[in-house]
Amino acid sequence: PILAGVVGWPVTYSLSPVIHSTWAHRAGINGYYVPVAVPPSEDEFRQIINGLRRVRFAGVNVTKPHKENALRLADEASEIAKKAGAANMLTFQKDHIYADNSDVVGFANAVKEQSTNPGIHGLVLGAGGAARGIILALQSLGLKKITITNRTREKAEALADEFSLDVVDWDRRSNNLDTADILVNTTSLGMTGQPSLEIDLNTLKPKSIVADIVYSPLETPLLKAASSQHTIDGLSMLMHQAVPGFKQWFGGTGIVDAALKQTLLTEI
Ligand code: ATR
């Protein structure tokens, strides 16, 4: 059988094994996709990756907190992984580990599912690791203007310099919505156990897209408030980011559809 998996900490609640197993089952592919828990130590990460190579894994997805470690470990990386500064895919070739980042294309495809014309202005909330991939996805979709806002303004400014963005003050995040075609929350606000994201969507255009990258809860307070808009939830992004790995390691075509989402919903 073909072996692949997901490496992270914690990894128990990862839905990636369900996605890949569902696709493998549908396609009649003889393969296993397993969760591998690796504590947040770069050393342990390296040891486990080398172990997985030795037992002939085809590759792994990498999730928190190892995405930066994955990029450093790889012998070669795609341009998009380098720009993101993080890799969520490692493919084990003969004497070689190749890093890629499918979070970027995953989010871009989740947007395309909602709209063939995502518009010109994106507003990104947050400036952590996840924001980088979202910014690259918005740029790949051809958005001409991207505004970033973050509680810690310096982090927004650093990303603005790197990716040519505009910065607005966190306290003024509700003031820039009238021109936004897409609003993405990459902060942890709104996640189960976290404070809610306070934002006033009154001025947001009805056709704009509102996205949240977390899936616990699936309908975050932001998505609930945006119910009259087009919304993208964290499961949509998760399913789309899995497609390149399934192709790369199992040689199959992963279809993102309502049936897969329904299966995942029973696991949340
Ligand atoms: P990830 O890899 O998921 O992006 P991260 O790098 O820890 O995680 O980033 C978390 C993001 O959530 C940051 O933008 C953070 O803002 P700061 O840079 O100011 O820390 C944001 N965040 C977390 N808690 C927040 C809160 N209570 N209010 C506002 N922003 C918050």
Is there a common fold for 2-100+238-265 and 104-232?
yes
**Integer Cα distance of 125 and 168 in angstroms:** 10
Tell me whether residue 252 is annotated as binding.
no
Query: How much of the chain exceeds pLDDT 90, in percent?
Result: 98
Domain residue limits, the chain: 2-100+238-265, 104-232
Distance of CA 195 from the midpoint of ligand 1 (Å): 12
Superfamily name and number for 104-232: NAD(P)-binding Rossmann-like Domain (3.40.50.720)
45-70 residues labelled b (16+ CB within 10 A) or e (exposed): beebbeebbeeebbbbbbbebbbebb
Q: What confidence category does residue 73 fall into, taking pLDDT thresholds of 50, 70 and 90?
A: very high
Segment 1-35, tens digit of pLDDT: 999 999 999 999 999 999 999 999 999 999 999 99
CB 251 near ligand 1, within 6 Å: no
Give the sign of the dihedral formed by CA 203, CA 209, CA 214, CA 215.
Answer: positive
Q: Are 149 and 170 in contact (CB under 8 A)?
A: yes
Backbone angles phi, psi at 224, to 5 degrees: -65, -45
- Give the mean model confidence (pLDDT) for residues 53-63: 98
- Regarding the beta carbon of 195 and ligand 1, being less than 6 Å apart is answered yes
Q: If 0-12 CB within 10 Å is exposed, 13-18 middle and 19+ buried, where does residue 89 land?
A: buried
CATH of domain 2-100+238-265: 3.40.50.10860
Give the integer Cα–Cα distance in Å for 234 and 220: 9
Tokens at 32, concatenated: 């296993």
Collapsed DSSP state (helix, strand, coil) of residue 148: strand
Complex ipTM, two decimals? Answer: 0.97
- Percent of the chain at pLDDT exceeding 70: 100
- Note the pLDDT tens digit of each residue in 193-252: 999 999 999 999 999 999 999 999 999 999 999 988 899 999 999 999 999 999 999 999
Active-site residues, by number, are 67
pLDDT of residue 268: 87
The answer on pLDDT for 176 being more than 90 is: no
In whole angstroms, what is the distance from residue 177 CA to residue 187 CA? 17
> Once rounded to an integer, what is the mean pLDDT over residues 67-84?
98
- Rounded to whole angstroms, the Cα distance separating 86 from 67 reads 5
